[in-house]
Amino acid sequence: MNRTVVETSPAPTAAPSSSTPVKPPRRSGRPRSGTPSVTRKAQTRLGLILVAPLMAMVVVFLIFPLGNALYYAFVDFNGINPRPPFVGLDNFVELFKDPSVWAALKNNVIWIVLGTVSPLVIGLGLALLVWGVRRGSIFYRVAFFFPYILPQVAVGVVWGWIYDPTRGWLNRGLELVGLGSLGTGWLGNPDTALYAVLGTAVWATSGFVFVILLSALRNVDTELVDASLLDGAGPLSRLWYVVLPQIMPVFLMVTTITLVGGFSVFDIVFIMTGGGPAGATEVLGTYAYGNAFQLNRISYGTALALVITVLAIPFAVWLNRLQRRLSLQGMGA
Amino acid sequence: MSTSSTTLRPRQALRGGRHLVLAMLSVLMLFPLILVISTALKTGEDVRTNPFGLFSSVSADNLVTAWTVGSFGDYVLNSFLLSVPSTILVVVLSTLGGYAFARLPFPGRSIAFYLVVLGLLVPFFTYMIPLYFQLRGMGLLNTLVGANLVLASTGLSFGTFFIRAFFTDLPTEIEEAARIDGASEWQIFRSVMLPLVSSGAGALAVFTFLQNWNNFLVPLLYLPGGQYRPLTTGLYLFLGGRSVDIGPLAAGTLITILPVMVLFVALQRQVTQGFLSGAVKG
């Protein structure tokens, strides 16, 4: 009686869940032994029909170019030659020896560290401030979240003015508080350019972290917080021992997102400085883009893009596992 | 449950102070936005001579210049031509696929699912270069169709995940009741299950539209010809002459972000939900 069931269902519940940070299909749609085989067949047919257009798109515009990326990385393709020569690991060896790659990687590391820590601190601070606010919390959510959903080009344009050496609001503000001597052409000065662009990114990301952490805080068990109040716990120890452990899974998840994003940062740097001045803000992404689309070193750029991905994925997987373990221990959320 | 109703007066003062701090922080966070609106609405003369004046004059000159001379009128149209079809494609294909993954058994489901998952793990960045040559080979470079398909493909993995979760959460009893009533599998999907996820599909639509509207890399790479240039790459092009004309540039920026602002203010919850789920479930 169960023959159809065995044939048609690839046992979705048995999918290996630990190898990816994303949950595999869960129990529903599972073969139920009570389902008649006519229904089963009809379901199979509909399933195939419904999923076909999606898979066609995924295969053509994701899987195929991904496979091509692997191919490009092992040949020497300049965009024109139809049969590029196989070069093995040459592209990767060259990457390894290229000082510009290391310089870009250093900028990525700075970006990852500061671009993860600052939004987390700012976002948590804002979330703690708004937590417990009853009236007006929607307004704050809108105000703080808004920068995150703006197109990066618009963000880059505005911050370009703010950082302007003579007409910029930043230098103006520094003058007003008597720190005018610190003023500089923020994006034109190689010492400050990376941090200026990073500051813009932090501005845009903090609101995102804030909204996620705020919604996590709203789920915090307030009775525990009240109990700790009665026990005379100070605000900091309350935060550390009572609140933070409860939002830890979400906290780690946000960390993953901002951290992984730090590897593939491109738009905002490309828009604001294009990697300059003198390579001061060059990150792996802009360097890969420049090689592929400006120098026609297609294979070299692709190999670099692959390396960026391979660098980022372990962090994503690792943090996601950590998060899942914590959430299992914590509250089964 | 009630955390503070029984506690003492000083908390009230504390709360007032907290609102003051939050209000100041809000102004600080929104300042760049205020700057855009103010600069876009100033006269050209005022922009040049008084860069630090906020709302010191009011004029539509910059907006008119951006719209006509700066071609932002064309860019707006192109942005819609790139965002609307790709959004529809994402919502439709994700809903169909999401239902199949959530509730229908079919051969190869696990493999298919992992292929979709791959799209969440691998950044667009990784394969954008080969995709350029693939599109060129397919004759889709510099076409609205090609750009729409690519935009849609970048949103499908998340969309399928997002909608699948809604379908997964529906109780099996609904489906079984319909089946006992003699509904076909298609009818169960179309008439029973689909209406129940419409709020999710709506949130996905808003989120996807914003993502596609904001997308910079896809038009930059795959529409190099310029005849279908949307607002994002149009604004970037305009940025080249930034030192010359800040007023119209501000106006162009305002035009670019206006739909985003309107959608966000009108559908604040859906937009936030979309962006949060994009993070939480991915």
Looking at residue B9, its pLDDT comes to 57
In the predicted structure, residue A31 carries a pLDDT above the cut 80: no
Question: If you average pLDDT over residues B40-60, what whole number do you get?
Answer: 82
Torsion-angle region of residue A233: left (phi > 0), alpha (psi -120 to 50) or beta?
beta
Looking at residue B243, its pLDDT comes to 54
Looking at residue B277, its pLDDT comes to 67
Nearest to A172 among B36, B52, B185 (CB): B52
Residue B228: band (very low, low, confident or very high) from pLDDT cuts 50, 70, 90: very high
Looking at residue B223, its pLDDT comes to 95
- Residue A39: its chain B contacts at CB < 8 A? 179, 185
Q: For residue B274, give every residue at least 6 positions away whose Cβ sits within 8 Å of its Cβ, in sequence order, or none.
A: B162, B203, B204, B206, B207, B208, B210
- Residue B131: its chain A contacts at CB < 8 A? 61, 65, 68
Q: Find tokens 């809108």 and name the residue.
A: A142
**Superfamily of segment(s) A99-328:** MetI-like (1.10.3720.10)
Q: A272 to chain B, minimum CA–CA distance in Å?
A: 10
pLDDT digits (tens, 9 = 90+) for A119-142: 999 999 999 988 877 777 888 888
Structure tokens, A13: 């519940």
Question: If you average pLDDT over residues B20-47, what whole number do you get?
Answer: 89
Structure tokens, A92: 């990767």
Q: B165 to chain A, minimum CA–CA distance in Å?
A: 9
What does the alpha-carbon distance between residue B271 and residue B253 come to, in Å, rounded to a whole number? 21
What does the alpha-carbon distance between residue B66 and residue B249 come to, in Å, rounded to a whole number? 7
End-to-end Cα separation, chain A, in angstroms: 38
Does A54 contact B156 at a Cβ distance shorter than 8 Å? yes
- Residue A54: its chain B contacts at CB < 8 A? 93-94, 96-97, 116, 156, 160
Q: For residue A270, give every residue at least 6 positions away whose Cβ sits within 8 Å of its Cβ, in sequence order, or none.
A: A285, A286, A289
pLDDT digits (tens, 9 = 90+) for A53-65: 999 999 999 999 9
Q: For all residues of chain A together, what is the average pLDDT?
A: 82
Structure tokens, B161: 């995940």
What does the alpha-carbon distance between residue B247 and residue B62 come to, in Å, rounded to a whole number? 5
- Residue B99: its chain A contacts at CB < 8 A? 50
Minimum Cα–Cα distance from B246: chain A residue: A161
Which residues on adjacent β-strands are paired with residue A86? A75
Q: Is the Cβ–Cβ distance between A130 and A139 less than 8 Å?
A: no
pTM (2 d.p.): 0.86
Residue B262: band (very low, low, confident or very high) from pLDDT cuts 50, 70, 90: very high
Question: If you average pLDDT over residues B193-211, what whole number do you get?
Answer: 91
Residue B70: band (very low, low, confident or very high) from pLDDT cuts 50, 70, 90: confident
Looking at residue A233, its pLDDT comes to 73
What's the one-letter identity of residue A159?
Answer: W
Looking at residue A311, its pLDDT comes to 85
Q: B129 to chain A, minimum CA–CA distance in Å?
A: 6
Looking at residue A22, its pLDDT comes to 47
Percent of chain B past pLDDT 90, that is, above it, reads 54
- Residue B1's Cβ-count burial label (10 Å; 0-12, 13-18, 19+) is exposed
Most confident of A248-262, A308-322, B223-237: B223-237
Looking at residue B244, its pLDDT comes to 59
Minimum Cα–Cα distance from A313: chain B residue: B121
Higher-confidence residue of B150 and A79: namely B150
In the predicted structure, residue B3 carries a pLDDT above the cut 50: no
Q: B76 to chain A, minimum CA–CA distance in Å?
A: 14
Q: Is the Cβ–Cβ distance between B124 and B223 less than 8 Å?
A: no
3-state secondary structure of B54: coil
Domain-by-domain residue ranges, chain A? Answer: 47-88, 99-328
> Nearest-5° angle of CA B246, CA B248, CA B252?
110
- Residue B184: its chain A contacts at CB < 8 A? 42
- Helical H segments across chain A, by residue range: 3-8, 37-58, 64-73, 90-97, 99-130, 137-149, 152-162, 169-176, 193-218, 222-230, 235-238, 244-263, 267-272, 284-289, 298-330
Q: Find tokens 């979760």 and name the residue.
A: B165
